[in-house]
Amino acid sequence: MNGIPFCQGPPDHQSGPFPFLIPAGAVDTHAHVISSASFVSNRSYTPPEARGEQYIEMLDQIGATYGVLIQVSVNGQDNEPMLQVLDQHSVRLRGVAVPLLGQPDAYYQNMKDRGVVGIRVNVMFSGGGLDLSQLEECDALAQDWGWHIQFLLDANDLPVLMSRMQKMKSTLVIDHMGFLKTSVGLSSPGFKAMVELVRERAWVKVSGAYRLSDEAPKYTDVVPYAKTLIEAAPNRCVWGSDWPHVATYGPMPSIAQLLECFALYAPTEEIRKKILCDNPQHLYGF
């Protein structure tokens, strides 16, 4: 429709073998539910619907205890489909919303009561709803409600943004290692700025390997980037499946493949427990 590309859905079942046993209490910090009834016209892609029960089934298949739903760009600022899934799984799930700004307190209280713990600023895909011109307003809102701000952005833009982000007072979370293709290089200004921000204060999701890699699974070219970020702030790194892998037009990754990559840069049980359990339970309030 109108040149908006369709993308495929995830595998129906996550078949292992998995490279390690997921520890009890593990949190998948990045996934989406998707409602076709809430598609925005300016979306970047058209995915299949993704329902809450499908996501819970995936968590069960891989052995994860908790999950975090992130408001998807194709649904704009209609957070209700995600909130309804949070209602159904209030113990097991949390949410990161894309709220409207300038609303009455009751609007934000409703979100918080239903499990929202953060705000998403997505500048990589159309329809995201909030942009970088609103950073300071988002920062004030996050402080008011005890939320963090999660950024899906291109880390190549961080050198220009650093001064503003360093002045923010709320907790900052960088998605998918800054969405930085490995071909850019460890010495690139964008990666160096991201490492500096993570070392100083930001959290980072060491996830999305298939989006960053120029290789087939196990996406080994991602490993040096992830290891550098983990070394910079081992207590502020988390991992997410990125289910249902929206805007993917090549081979669809399995969670087993993503975990194989994760195991390369988190090779010990101790660091895996920190990234999969301890850190995200603290950040998301499980």
The residues assigned a catalytic role are 242
Task: Locate the DSSP E strands across 40-125.
Answer: 66-70, 93-97, 116-122
| Residue type at 112 in one-letter notation | K
Q: Which of 26, 25, 150, 38 is nearest to 83 (CA)?
A: 38
The DSSP-derived string for 170-211 is: S-EEEGGGGG--GGG-TTSHHHHHHHHHHHHT-EEE---HHH
Residue for token digits 């499990």? 115
Residues 186, 215: contact at Cβ < 8 Å?
Answer: no
Closest by CA position to 44, among listed 119, 127, 132, 164 = 127
Q: 107: exposed, middle or buried (C-beta count within 10 Å: 0-12, 13-18, 19+)? A: exposed
